[in-house]
Amino acid sequence: MAEHFMKHMAAQLAFYLACILFKKAKKDSSQWKSCSKMSGPLLLLAHQSQPPEDNVAWLKDLPITLANTCKLWIKDGHLRKSQAGNILLGLNSKKKFMDFISPLLVTKWQDELFKVLTNVKQDGLILQS
């Protein structure tokens, strides 16, 4: 159960970070290209994580309150997967989004993501709020 929960939380975090990037791009339209490019790997991570099935054996053995909590995060996982897939399809329909982000996937995109999320200047020492 703990492994499923950790995968769920990592995927939820990836989805929420992608949403933060889109909100940032909405406020400042000049950042749309970099934000949409950086949201691609996050949305892929959020979409690829599968929530566990409703009828697994360990879920049936849990106390009722914990079972209800697990069913809630399974439902949230399905919702996240649906939303991430819908956003990816929408981005891909306008132009070849996967071709746009594929060069990013073979680099250290996590460092670039940190820079975009925190507005780190070139020297890497000064953060803007």
- 3-state SS of 2-56 is HHHHHHHHHHHHHHHHHHHHHHHHHHCHHHHHHHHHHHHHHHHHHHHCCCCCCCC
Residue 121 scores a pLDDT above 80: no
More reliable by pLDDT, 42 or 118: 42
pLDDT digits (tens, 9 = 90+) for 92-102: 776 676 666 76
The whole-model pTM stands at 0.73
The whole-angstrom separation of Cα 65 and Cα 63 is 6
The arithmetic mean of pLDDT across residues 71-99, rounded, is 82
Least confident of 51-55, 76-80, 113-117, 118-122: 118-122
Structure tokens belonging to residue 120: 């780190």
Q: What percent of the chain has pLDDT over 70?
A: 82
Phi, psi dihedral angles at 120 (to 5 degrees): -70, 135
